Amino acid sequence: MSKHAAVAGASREYMRPRPADLPSVVEGQVAELCRDLAIEARRVQTLQGQADDLRKTIRQWIVQCEDSNGDIS
């Protein structure tokens, strides 16, 4: 794509919508936000699961250290 085409495409993308088009533009933006939020919610669930696994591993490690060395404190 030429630089001119990229600039022309960008300017079309940010053109102010006509009042009659506003409901569909807003609806599209809301739909995009909902998709983004769903993706982020799944990512948060994944991270929470990984954090739970890490906590479990650390607890097991502590118990193993205590069993082999006595109290670690």
pLDDT at res. 53 = 98
Average pLDDT over residues 19-40: 92
Of 28-32, 49-53, 60-64, 69-73, least confident by mean pLDDT is: 69-73
Virtual CA dihedral for 43, 47, 52, 55, nearest 10 degrees? 180
In a domain, 3, yes or no: no
Is 33 within 8 Å of 27 (Cβ atoms)? no
CA atoms within a 13 Å half-sphere pointing along the CA-CB vector of 43: 6
| % of the chain at pLDDT higher than 70 | 77
Domain count, the chain: 1
Residues spanned by the domain of 72: 22-73
8 or 52: which leads in pLDDT: 52
6 or 40: which leads in pLDDT: 40
How wide is the angle at C-alpha 68 spanned by C-alphas 62 and 73, nearest 5°?
Answer: 55
In a domain, 12, yes or no: no
69 or 42: which leads in pLDDT: 42
